[in-house]
Amino acid sequence: MKRVAIIAAMPGELKPFLDSQAKEGWVHESRGDVRLWRLTWPGDQGEWTAACAGAGQQAAIRAFAEVEKDGRIDQAISVGWVGALSHSFKCGKAYVVSGVIDMLTGERFEAADLTGREREVGSHTQPSDKNEDVARMGHPASSDSFPRSQNRDLGHPGSFQIGRPKVLLVTSPKVADAAEKRRLAGAYHADLVDMEAAGVARLAAMRGIPFQCIKGVSDGFDEDLLDFNRFISPEGQFQTARLLFFVLPRPWHWPALVRMGENSKKASQAIRDILLDNLNGPGAIANQNGDPNLKP
């Protein structure tokens, strides 16, 4: 049985996807601070497990480990909300990431392209010159490539589908404000910033399994938000009550938070659409062989 792990930070990032398959019967459980939703298809055709444990790489590693306790993972997908590092990436849209950089270690990981019908991903339809770096920048142990997945051609400019852009994401240890986004864009020539993807990518590379990454933009390049880092615990848990107590007497923060909430909801819906287009039924790995009978 092929097992697909879908790793997020927050339940809200997964909600539209989980709701779309609710009739199939997700099994939900909590193990400490890790929440899991498991959907097993009949006849050992495959299993999807979605998990979240909070913000940051350590939380993503905990979520991955809990999924792995139930059996070998055959495919890992990092999903969730990100900040945009350029005006080309629009709030409420989702993007398939092709390369991930860990800001702390300098490691660079390749993300395999997703299967499924060709489609425009988000609104970024033309790769920019800076994104050619996805094909050139290397892991510290390699001067010319990301760590390879099972497809040896991945990372080559010619291996990407026509019309499908190469999107580079940098994983940061903190939520990036407007000033930090400008710094990251200049330092890494990246397009998006998150807090978890590099942790999932590293574990997938260590196990020699395919890694994919789908991210939805919750906040734009110039969005001037309050410092969310003060509301995230050392374990990566978002402290909603603390945030509410902080913003209630400060109404000047309300419009930006409302916009972010709306954008996050749209981004989660866009992530759901790409996941469903590409998972396309029980056992995503099996369905990469093109079996038309593998449908939900």
Q: Rg for the chain (alpha carbons), in Å?
A: 18
Structure tokens at 78: 């990092």
Q: What is the pLDDT of residues 119-154, one digit of tens each?
A: 333 333 333 333 333 332 223 223 234 443 333 222
Between 295 and 198, name the one with better pLDDT: 198
* 243-to-65, 68, 139, 226 alpha-carbon distances in Å: 29, 33, 38, 10
- What is the pLDDT, as a whole number, of residue 229? 78
- What is the pLDDT, as a whole number, of residue 150? 31
Q: What is the pLDDT of residues 58-89, one digit of tens each?
A: 999 999 999 999 999 999 999 999 999 999 99
CA separation for the pair 268, 262 (Å, rounded): 10
Is-contact 74 207, C-beta < 8 A?
no
- What is the pLDDT, as a whole number, of residue 111? 95
**What is the average pLDDT across 25-31?**
96
Q: How many C-beta atoms lie closer than 10 Å to residue 30's C-beta?
A: 9
Q: Is the pLDDT of residue 293 over 50?
A: no
What number does CATH give the domain 3-287? 3.40.50.1580
**What is the average pLDDT across 261-267?**
97
Q: Is the pLDDT of residue 18 over 80?
A: yes
pTM of the model: 0.80
- What is the pLDDT, as a whole number, of residue 117? 33
Between 254 and 99, name the one with better pLDDT: 99
